[in-house]
Amino acid sequence: MSVPVLILTLSFIFLLLINVPIAVGIGISTFLTGMYVMGSINSASDIIAQRMATGINSFSLLAIPFFILAGLFMGKGGIARRLIDFASALVGRFTGGLAYVNVLTCMLFGALSGSAVAAVSAIGGFMIPEMNRKGYDKNFNVAVSTTAATTGLMIPPSNIMIVYALVAGGGVSIVAMFMAGILPGIVFGLLLMVASGIISKKRNYGAGDKAGLGQILMTFRRAILSLLLIVIVLGGILGGIFTATEAAAIAVVYAFLLAVVVYREVKIKEIPGILLQCGITTAVVMLLIGTSQAMSWIMTSENIPQNVSAALLSISSNKIVILLIINILLLFVGTFMDMTPAVLIFTPIFLPMVQQLGMSKIHFGMIMIANLCIGLCTPPVGTCLFVGCGVGETTIVKVIRPLLPFFAAMAIALMLVTYIPEISLFIPKLLKLI
């Protein structure tokens, strides 16, 4: 291992261990490595600053703050309650029905808000107490909410797909990534429902009231304006009416009107706070993207992707084995690193390798996102797990055991997405996006 690689790796790990914010840690470790490689502080500063600025100089990235803002309006605008009522009318009648409601609502709300954490807090904040009241085990309820919330990151629109499309480069459009995520997100959601159903049947968790057609139609009517956001965004993009970035801006306007004017859940005096929160989140994401792009440049200049590729291919040339190793590595990465920096750092490392195996960039993107979604539910840095435990007023230690069946369901879904490319590629091919 070369000296620059050692400096980059060891300094980054050390900074993570002492709880330096990950964006800052990436920037410092990249600067230290650049200083060694170029032999000058000034040269390292100039080039890394230039790479950071270039890394965020993309029109497509404008979609991220817009989708963040739309998600904030959705999260505070009374959307969750309406989606829960609609999901309950559809699937609440079955044994373990509230668990199904939880999963289905998280899928819908996560897709609308683009945030797994928002789904845990908004949906879990209502569903966990309700499930507790109906006799479901509290830790089981937290496990359902935590894992189900991640499905919305695969169902479009999703900010992490925009980031991946940017890093993957030519041949990967944001629209194609959006369409590729629909079936994998549904597969994950269905398998989580299966796990919920098996456990509910074994523990005899009760069914909800049977909803008639009239109630289903009534709840659908209340939820339809929220659900229309997905139709407007995806329909407009696929119809060529507007780009993904323009769709994000339209989503903000629609979400604003829905939350402030129609539902009146968000007051005018709350808007400055929402804008501030959006600005803070956007700044963190953009700093991550900028520093990660600089780190990617350092790694490329030191041939790290090629060396990793050669090392893995020396273990085996079998595509199945290589993909299994990559999945294990990404699952490990997801346990201690958030999705955005993980995508930015590891896409340039693994993507050239899987392309040598003949894999589509879009398919690999869904494999990576699916892996990192699982990481959101695992300690020590599982954001959804921490939020879910907070909402459910329990501890991680108590939730780990109930999580295991759901981890098994997500692992099966991951294997299906990994080894059956058509799950990711069917819709993009059908729409002639690839």
Instruction: Quick: pLDDT tens for 143-153.
Output: 999 999 999 88
Residues 213 and 303 in one domain: yes
Out of 35, 55, 75, a domain closes at 55
DSSP 3-state of 197: helix
Residues 369 and 239 in one domain: yes
Q: What is the pLDDT of residues 257-278, one digit of tens each?
A: 999 999 899 999 999 999 999 9
Which pLDDT value is given to residue 209?
Answer: 63
Which pLDDT value is given to residue 89?
Answer: 85
Task: Answer whether residue 57 shows pLDDT above 90.
Answer: no
Give first-to-last CA distance, the chain, whole Å: 38
Helix residue ranges per DSSP H, 77-208:
79-91, 97-113, 116-133, 138-148, 159-168, 174-180, 182-203
Task: Answer whether residue 122 shows pLDDT above 70.
Answer: yes
Residues 217 and 101 in one domain: yes
Residues 2 and 150 in one domain: no
Query: What is the chain's percent helix, strand, coil content, to nearest 5?
Result: 80, 0, 20
Residues 38 and 98 in one domain: no
Which amino acid appears at position 102 of this protein?
A: N
Residues 10 and 96 in one domain: no
Question: CA 273, CA 296: separation in Å to the nearest integer?
Answer: 34
Which pLDDT value is given to residue 243?
Answer: 86
Specify which residues 261 forms β-bridges with: none
Residues 164 and 242 in one domain: yes
**How many structural domains is the chain composed of?**
2
Q: Where residue 142 falls among pLDDT bands split at 50, 70, 90? A: very high
Question: CA 216, CA 218: separation in Å to the nearest integer?
Answer: 5
Q: Where residue 303 falls among pLDDT bands split at 50, 70, 90? A: confident
Which pLDDT value is given to residue 212?
Answer: 76
Which pLDDT value is given to residue 81?
Answer: 81
Out of 19, 35, 55, a domain closes at 55
Residues 29 and 123 in one domain: no
Task: Answer whether residue 63 shows pLDDT above 70.
Answer: yes
CB 158 within 8 A of CB 181: yes
Which amino acid appears at position 167 of this protein?
A: V
Nearest to 145 by CA among 114, 109, 112, 178: 109
Residues 113 and 200 in one domain: yes
Rounded mean pLDDT, 346-364: 91
Residues 420 and 287 in one domain: yes
107-to-90, 189, 218, 405 alpha-carbon distances in Å: 14, 7, 20, 19
Percent of the chain residues topping a pLDDT of 90: 36
Task: Answer whether residue 378 shows pLDDT above 90.
Answer: no
Residues 294 and 414 in one domain: yes
Residues 175 and 264 in one domain: yes
pTM of the model: 0.86
Range of the domain at 327: 56-430
Out of 21, 40, 55, a domain closes at 55
